[in-house]
Amino acid sequence: MADGRADRAVDRAPKGLLLRGYLLAARALPLIAPTVLRRRLARGKEDPARWREKLGEPSQPRPEAPVIWLHAVGLGEVLALRGLIAEMAAQAPDAEFLVTSTARSSALVMAANLPPRTRHQFLPLDAPRYVARFLDHWRPVLSVWAEQEIWPGAVVAAHARAIPLAMVNARITAASHARRARVRGLYADLLARFALVLAQDQGTADRLADLGAQGVRIGGSLKPAAPPLSVDLAELARLRAALEGRKIWVAASTHPGDEAEALAAALPDRLLILAPRDIGRADQIAADLAARGLPFVRRSQSDLPGPQTRVWLADSFGELGLWYRLADTALVGGGFDVIGGHNPWEAAALDTAVLHGPDVGNFAADYARLDQAQAARRVAPGELAAALQDPGLPAMAARARALVAAAQGSLAPLAADLLALTRHP
């Protein structure tokens, strides 16, 4: 693998007026960015130790090895990259990996789930000064962008340095495409810079091609191929011993609609672990549990469920790997609200049977794949209690786990294609 590249004798300048206008406006961002970030810091929305990474200031040294840079916007997208990183690491034992994201939550969870030879940083704000500082330090030999977020300044700057660009796991809905089509020239100029574009499905491939991407291929979703979420093994053993003999299910990444269904199905002979998507709602949920007369304890208060406890409120962050291992069945949230569902593969990877509500539009292809293989079950409002009694749940979980294993074994060609870009810009 080559480490770093000089600019090639090609025209890499922005062509369109929209992109040139964006890049010109971005030069003014440093006038306000530090003030805005400090205000966010005061409200707890930025990491006190790492917020200056968003100004392009690294908090870790660059390894003395070729660095492959991968970016995803949030927690779920970042976690989905882990399987791909592991496969690339196996094929390129001399490479190191840098993962960037923008959400604070992604850094907290990724820290416990980093693949070998991988570090995390926040992506700098999209001003030329910040991006240049970031690229000067890390000097990546490849830039991989996941899902649908691309930052114009970073893409143009990487391309100007002859850093190969790839997009993987791309997913763009019809609504998102319609918004981007209003500035089609901007996206055409950006997408033409990508040497490899892999869409999750045919609809996304068609929309990306319409926006100007060239040679789009369908590669499916990376989420099924991600390794299982990490866990504190000592804590897992402690809780298994404390809860021995109890049947346990989890309602994971829940919103109010999911919680209403889960609490209505809270069976006397089963312990429900209720893990809300936003733990900032924990006090509100606790008040609802008290109003319903459901005996409960809170994880944040270090209380263990007793024999009469019906609900364990998991008001802690980054412990889904623990809850999925304790439970035999999961209601994966987001399906009973106008949310579009959440990732079912994290549960499937840990042999936990997957139940879901009807609204899974953001994961339509994932749930269709599971449902068609009889590896998940859709439940309508009021049907959850009956679904929890289904004797076929263990077999359903085994079928889902088989899909995960097959997906993990399919990453080698993609990893090879990406690594080839580091040798052939």
Query: Domain residue spans in the chain?
Result: 17-220, 233-408
Q: Which of 46, 53, 77, 96 is catalytic?
A: 77
Look at the domain 233-408 and name its fold.
Rossmann fold (3.40.50)
Taking the whole predicted model, whether its pTM rises above 0.85 is answered as: yes
Tell the residue number behind the tokens 């660009």, with chain if given: 165
Domain 17-220's class?
alpha beta
In the block, residue with structure tokens 């003014």: 28
pLDDT in tens for each of the 425 residues of the chain? 544 443 443 457 666 789 999 999 999 999 999 999 999 999 988 999 999 999 999 999 999 999 999 999 888 888 999 999 999 999 999 999 999 998 887 787 888 888 999 999 999 999 999 999 999 999 999 999 998 889 999 999 999 999 999 999 999 989 999 999 999 999 999 999 999 999 998 999 999 999 999 999 998 889 999 999 999 999 999 999 999 999 999 999 999 999 999 999 998 889 999 999 999 999 999 999 999 999 999 999 988 999 999 999 999 988 999 999 999 999 999 999 999 999 999 999 999 999 999 999 888 889 999 999 999 999 999 999 999 999 999 999 999 999 999 998 889 999 999 999 997 54
Tokens 């790997």: give the residue.
Answer: 321
Nearest to 229 by CA among 317, 164, 146: 317
For 78-95, b/e burial (b = at least 16 CB within 10 A) is: bbbbbbbbbbbbeebeeb
Q: Is 64 designated active site? A: no
- Could you say which DSSP state residue 198 is in? E
Whether 233-408 and 17-220 are alike in CATH topology: the answer is yes
